[in-house]
A and B are shown apart, each in its own frame.
Chain A
Amino acid sequence: MSAVQTAAPPLALRTRRLAVRFRPTRFVLNVILGLIALFWLVPTLSLLVISLRPASSFGVTGWWTVFTAPTQLTLHNYQSLFSTGFASGGILDSAITTALITVPATVLVTVLASLAAYSLVFGRWRGRTAVFLVIVALLVVPVQVALIPVAQLYNAFGHVSGFNPFGTLPGVIIFHVAFGLPFGIFLMRNFYTGIPKDLLEAGRIDGAGEWTLFRRVVLPLGLPAAASLAIFQFIWVWNDLLVGLVFLGGNQHHTLTIYLYGFTRTLANNYWVIATGGIISILIPLAIFFSFQRYFVRGVLAGAVK
C-alpha cells in the first residue's frame, strides 16, 4: 500500500514540473520556431494539395480553398500517372531508373570514401596530407566543366574497350561517384580524425589487422558520418537533372527529374503532372532520411578514452 502512495509525486512537485514546462520564454520560442517551420513547409504543402486536387481546378481556384472545401480532394492524379504502369518513359519506369542510379552511386561513394578516409587518417604512408589537399581542391570543380571532357573520355574508352559508358546507367553512376567522392572523403576523413588513435592501437594489440580495424572499430564509430554522407549523396543524385540529361541522352529509360522536366514545356496543361510527380519523387528521399536518421547518435565516442 505504501508503495502505491509514494508512487504519485507530491502535488507541489507536480506543479513545479508544469511550471518548468510552460516557462513563457520557451513557449514563445517554440511558437516562433513552429511558425518558421510552417512557412518553410508551405511550398511543399501546396504541391501536395495541388496533386490531390482535380487537374481542372488548377488556375480556377487557389489550392488553399482545400481548407474550406476538403471534398475536392481526390487521388485521381496519382491514378492517371500510375495507369501507364511500367512502360518505359512512364513515371514508375523513371523512378526505377533513378533508383538504379542512385542506390549504387550512394553505396559506392559511402564505402569508397570511408575506405579512403581510413587510409588518409590511420594509414602510415608519405604524402597523405598532400593527397587529401588535392582531394579537397577537387571540391571546387563544377559539374558543368566536367561534362564534355568526361563524355569524350567515355567515347575514347568505348573505342578502346568496345563498351562506351556514354548513354548507359553505369556511365551516369560512375560520374556521380566521381563527383561525390571528394566531399565524401572530406567528410569521413574529418570525422575519423576525431577517433582516438589509441583505439586502433588497442585493436592492433588485441590482434586486429587493418581490415578488421576498419570493419569492427572505425566503421561502427563512423556510422553517424557515413549516414549523413549517404543521405546527402542520395538526395543529390536522386534530384540530379543535368548529369542524367547529358549522359542518358538517347537512352529510352530516364530519371524522374528528366521525366518531370519533360512536362515543363507545356506547363499550364501539365501542372498536375509536375505536382503529383514531384510529390512521388520526394517520398523516397524522405523515407531514406527518416530511416537513416537513427544513426545520428550524439556522443558515439563517449567512454573511449578517459
Chain B
Amino acid sequence: MSRVVLKDLTKRYAGGNLAVDRLNLEVGDGEFVCLVGPSGCGKTTALRMIAGLEDISGGQVMIGDKVVNLLPPRDRDIALVFQSYALYPHMSVFDNMAFGLKLRKTPKPEIESAVREAARILDLERYLDRKPGQLSGGQRQRVALGRAIVREPAVFLMDEPLSNLDAKLRVQTRAEIAALQLRLGVTTVYVTHDQVEAMTLGHRVAVLREGRLQQCDTPRRLYEHPCNVFVAGFVGSPAMNLDRLPFDGTAARAGEVGIPLPGAAAAAARQAGLSEVVLGLRPESLSLELDGGGDGATRLSGAVHLVEDTGADAWVHVDAPGGSSALRLVALADARRLPAVGDRIVLAVRVAEAHVFDPATGERLGD
C-alpha cells in the first residue's frame, strides 16, 4: 500500500494538444480518489500515465516514495481495471486471474489460493473454468476486478469500470467496489464521467476540465463549496441553477426582486467592482410555496414550464423574471403536492445557500 503523488503531470500530444496540463494531486495511502470530468477532460490520460501506458510529457508520477516516470507498467506495482475489461478471451476465468501471478513466478499453491480467495470474494467460484465469452457483462466485470485484486498491488487504477453495465447492475457493482476497497484498504484512483459514481465512491473527488484540475475535495465540500462555475454546474443532479444577474451592491436583481447575497460574497463582488454576478442556486435551495407563505423570505414568482416526476422527488421547471432575459429555474418539489404545467407559483429562495461567482473568471466569490 502506498500513496500516489502527481506533480505538474503534463501530457502533450504530437500536435501540441494538451491533454493533461500540470496536474497536481496527492492520493493518500488507502485513499479512494475519483477523477471526474466530461469526456476529453484528460482523466483517462492521467490514469494511463500513472499506469505507465502513456508517455509522460512533463512532471512526475510518484508511487510510494519512488518516481516511476520511466518504469514500465509491470514494475509499478499497480493493477488496472479497463473500461472494456480486456479479459484474455482464450483463457479460462482462473487463468485470466492467475496470469499476472504466473508471470511473476508465484508458486503454484499460492496462485491457487489467491485466485480461489478472489473468486470467493467476487462470487465467481462457479465460473472459474469458463471462458470470458461464456459470462455475462456483470460477471466479466467481476473477473476484471478479480484479476486486479489477486495481485495485491499497491495501487488500484480503474478506468470507468462500470460504464458497460446496465443501470441496475451499475448501482449494485458500485456498492460492491466501495465495500471491496474499504475491506482491502488499497489506494485507488478511479476514473469516471459520472458525477454520481464519483460522489458516492470517492473519499475525495478531483474534477478535471480540459486537462486542468478544477477542484479536489470531499464530495460534501465539492457540493457545498464548488470553487468555480464549472464545478458548480458539473456536480449535482439536476444541475445547479446558474444565472447571470445584475448586482446592485448587496443583492442580485431578478426582475423586481432583489435576492440578497451572502455577506462575504456581496463584499467580494463589491470589492471587485462587479455590476453583474453569476448566482448559483441548487434545486433544493428553492422551495415551492403553493399556499403563499407569510414570513420575510425572498420570493420569486413564475410559471411552471415542466414537471419531472421521479417518484420520490419531482423537479419543477419554472420560468421567472430575471435580468435581461427570463430565468429558467429548476426547483425540488414534494412529489405528493405537484403543480400543473402553466400554474403560477411562488418560489422561496434560501439565500444563505446561494453560491456566487464572478461572471468574467467563473471563480467563486466569498467563502
A221: nearest chain-B partner, CB-CB: B90
**Interface flag for A300 (CB, 8 Å):** yes
A48 proximal to B (CB < 8 A) = no
From 288 to 306 in chain A, residues with beta carbon under 8 angstroms from any chain B beta carbon are: 299-306
Considering the chains assembled together, what is the distance between the CA atoms of A217 and B89 in angstroms? 9
Query: A157-165, A180-188, A206-214: which lies at the B interface?
Result: A206-214
Q: A198-B82, A206-B147 are in contact. Are A304 and B132 (CB under 8 A)?
A: yes
Cβ 8 A contact of A206, one of B89, B100, B133, B137: B100
Contact flag A196-B84 (CB < 8 Å), given A201-B53, A204-B53, A221-B90: yes
Contact status B147-A199, CB under 8 Å: no
A306 in contact with B132 (CB, 8 Å): no
| Binary per-residue interface labels of chain A (200-240) against chain B in the complex, 1 for a CB within 8 Å, 0 otherwise | 01111111110010001100110000000000000000000
CB-CB < 8 A to B86: which residues of A?
196, 198-199, 201-202, 304-305
Is B135 positioned at the interface, with any CB of A under 8 Å from its CB? yes
Give A213 Cβ to nearest chain B Cβ, in Å.
10
Inter-subunit contact A303/B134 (CB<8 Å): yes
A306 CB to closest chain B CB (Å) equals 5
A305-B84, A306-B84 in contact; A204/B89 too (CB < 8 A)? no
Q: How far is the CB of A302 from chain B (nearest CB, A)?
A: 3
Closest to A297 in B: B90
Nearest CB of B to A129, in Å: 15
User: Which residue on B lies nearest to A204, using beta carbons?
Assistant: B73
Closest to A197 in B: B86
Is the Cβ of B74 less than 8 Å from the Cβ of A301? no
CA distance A220 to B131 in the complex (A): 14
Instruction: Tell me whether A304 and B89 are in contact in the complex, defined as CB-CB below 8 angstroms, given that A204-B53, A207-B100, A207-B103 are known contacts.
Output: yes
State the CA gap A139–B131 with chains docked (Å). Answer: 38
Size range of the chain A interface in the assembly = 20 to 34
Cross-interface CB contact of B80 among A202, A207, A299, cutoff 8 Å:
A202
A206 and B99 form a contact (CB under 8 A): yes
B35 interface contact, C-beta 8 A:
no
Number of interchain pairs (Cβ within 8 Å): 86
CB neighbours (8 Å) of B52 from chain A are 204-205
CB-CB contacts of B159-170 with A at 8 A, as 1s and 0s? 000001000000
Return chain A residues, CB-CB under 8 Å to B73. 201, 204-205
How far is A70 from B121 in the complex, measured between Cα atoms in Å? 70
Give A199 to B96 CA distance when docked, in angstroms: 11
CA distance A256 to B303 in the complex (A): 93
Report the nearest B residue to A124, measured CB to CB. B55
Give the shortest distance, in Å, between A134 (CB) and chain B (any CB): 23
Q: Which residues of A contact B74 (CB under 8 A)?
A: 204-209
Q: Is B87 an interface residue (CB 8 A)?
A: yes
Cβ contacts B127-146/A at 8 Å (1 or 0 each): 00001111101001000000
CA distance A63 to B144 in the complex (A): 63
Which residues from A are CB-within-8-Å of B135? 303
The distance from the CB of B118 to the nearest CB of chain A, in whole angstroms, is: 14
Please name the residue on chain B nearest to A202 by beta carbon: B86
The chain B residue sitting closest to A208, CB to CB, is: B103
B164 pairs with A306, CB closer than 8 A? yes
A217 to B88, Cβ gap below 8 A? yes
> B78–A205 contact, CB under 8 A?
yes
Residues in B neighbouring A205, C-beta threshold 8 A:
51-53, 73-74, 78-80, 100
Contact partner of B85 among A206, A208, A220, A305, CB < 8 A? A305
Q: Nearest Cβ in chain B — how far from A127, in angstroms?
A: 15
Complex CA gap A201/B159 in Å reads: 13
Q: Is B100's CB under 8 angstroms from A303's CB? A: no
Closest Cβ–Cβ distance, residue A219 to chain B (whole Å) = 10
Query: Of residues 350 to 367 in B, which have CB atoms within 8 Å of A's CB atoms?
Result: none
| A215 CB to nearest chain B CB (Å) | 12
CA distance A203 to B51 in the complex (A): 12
Complex Cα–Cα for A204 and B79 (A): 10
In this assembly, does B15 line the interface, its C-beta being within 8 Å of a C-beta of chain A?
A: no
Cβ of B126 < 8 Å from any Cβ of A? no
Q: Is B72 an interface residue (CB 8 A)?
A: yes
A16 to B343, CA, bound (A): 61
Cβ–Cβ < 8 Å partners of B51 in chain A? 205
The docked-state distance in angstroms from the alpha carbon of A286 to that of B151 is 47
Quote the shortest CB–CB distance from B299 to chain A (angstroms): 51
Interface centre among A204, A206, A212 (most CB of B within 10 A): A206
Which residues of B29-87 have CB atoms within 8 Å of chain A's CB atoms? 51-53, 72-74, 78-80, 82, 84-87
- B104 at the binding interface (Cβ < 8 Å): yes
B213 to chain A, nearest CB (A): 25
Residue of A nearest to B79 (CB): A205
Residues of B within 8 A of A204 (CB): 52-53, 72-74
Using Cβ atoms and an 8 Å threshold, which residues of chain A touch B151? Answer: 206
Closest to B81 in A: A202
B85 near A306: Cβ-Cβ < 8 Å: yes
Q: Is the CB of B89 within 8 A of A221?
A: yes
CB neighbours of B100 from chain A (8 A):
205-207
Check A303 against B103 for contact (C-beta < 8 Å): no
User: Which B residues lie within 8 Å of A302 (CB)?
Assistant: 89, 131-133
Q: For A207, what are the chain B residues with a Cβ–Cβ distance below 8 Å?
A: 74, 100, 103-104
Query: In the complex, what's the smallest C-beta–C-beta distance from A262 to chain B, in angstroms?
Result: 47
A contacts, CB < 8 Å to B: 196, 198-199, 201-209, 212, 216-217, 220-221, 299-306
Beyond A299-B133, A304-B84, 7 additional pairs, beta carbon < 8 A: A198-B86, A201-B80, A202-B88, A202-B147, A205-B74, A303-B131, A305-B85
11 contacts between A and B (CB under 8 A): A198-B86, A201-B53, A201-B80, A202-B86, A202-B88, A203-B88, A204-B74, A206-B103, A208-B103, A300-B90, A302-B133
The 9 lowest CB-CB distance pairs between A and B, nearest first, are A303-B132, A303-B133, A302-B133, A305-B84, A198-B86, A206-B100, A207-B74, A202-B86, A207-B103
